[in-house]
Amino acid sequence: MSVRTFYKDLVKAVICLASLALYSEGHAQQVVPLYKGKPPGNLSTDNKEQFVRPEKGRPSIINVTQPTITVYLPEHPNAAGTSVVICPGGGYLRLTIEDGGYDVAKNLAAAGIAAFVLKYRTWRDSTFIAYRDLPMQDLQQAFSIIRANAAQWKIDTSHIGVLGFSAGGHLAAMGSVSTRGFRPAFTWLAYPVVSFTDSLVSRTLKSRSTLLGNSITQQDKEAYSPELHVTVATPPAFIVHAADDSTSLVGNSIVYYKALLAKRVPAQMTLYQKGGHGFAQYNAAQDENWLPAAIKWLRLNGFYKQ
């Protein structure tokens, strides 16, 4: 082996170890499996999960078959006992779980809000009986576990909210309009995929075909478009989006916001001129972190007290 090859391999090894260290750091908190044994809907107990840190793009987890929640409890819980389940984005193919999960959870915990990063199942060929409803099943199971541990975790079960990024925003919105299972008290949506109707699905969006498959009926599109199912019972929402988002078109947030207003459901929306897609909690294009405004909105609506 040449000296040049040796040092090249050494650099690769150091980068790999650094990535693993950062990944482990994100898992320093308590990790709770959503199910005992084989999760319902899985064909086997195989675990092919991988953490990937590409040279370009955001670090993410792929091939998730064993869903969990990672628990971030505040040292000083706020008086309202607020908690948030965080659904990372990734087009239902992967989970951008660091900046769209763990980083946000740490900041919420620092603000006195219990946070739970949901690692829901992602699509993988020949792995599930039927994939389309498994992310929602995982979200509902996360709610059940949190409610069961509410006293221990100092959580008010009437103040459990959900935050979703991109495809995780679609999952959060679906959970917010669902008439089955637990419905969150409030919803935060960051550049969400909301509608599966043709006019609001961009050319680069993979969420719809990944979740529902390639043979999608009009009935499917409508059933999985949360803006069409908003009622007076839908929880209040805080929404953030950038007008120049070419992946999840800004119209997704606008139609959901309008649907909430039509039913007189409290809602607040911030539309950035620039920011693109996937900026997590910090929009670098406009040098703004939207999380403090979202917490102020919680206080305005009685979900947060200091």
- CATH number, domain of 187, equals 3.40.50.1820
- pLDDT for the residue 132: 97
Number of domains observed in the structure of the chain? 1
Q: Is residue 19 part of a domain?
A: no
Q: Is residue 272 part of a domain?
A: yes
pLDDT tens digits for 26-83? Answer: 445 899 999 999 999 999 999 989 999 887 788 999 999 999 999 999 999 999 999 9
Instruction: Return the ∠ at Cα 133 (arms to 207 and 70), rounded to 5°.
Output: 80
How far, CA to CA in Å, does 54 sit from each of 166, 221, 226?
Answer: 19, 32, 32
Q: Is residue 16 part of a domain?
A: no
pLDDT tens digits for 238-249? Answer: 999 999 999 999
Q: Is residue 42 part of a domain?
A: yes
Average pLDDT over residues 15-35: 59
Average confidence score pLDDT of the chain:
91
- pLDDT for the residue 28: 56
Q: Is residue 109 part of a domain?
A: yes
Instruction: Reply yes or no on whether the pLDDT at 14 is more than 60.
Output: no
Identify which of 144, 117, 121 has the alpha carbon closest to the alpha carbon of residue 131.
Answer: 121
Count of CB atoms situated within 10 Å of the CB of 263? 12
Contact between 97 and 26 (Cβ < 8 Å)? yes
Tokens of 295: 């917490």
Range of the domain at 203: 31-300
Q: Is residue 127 part of a domain?
A: yes
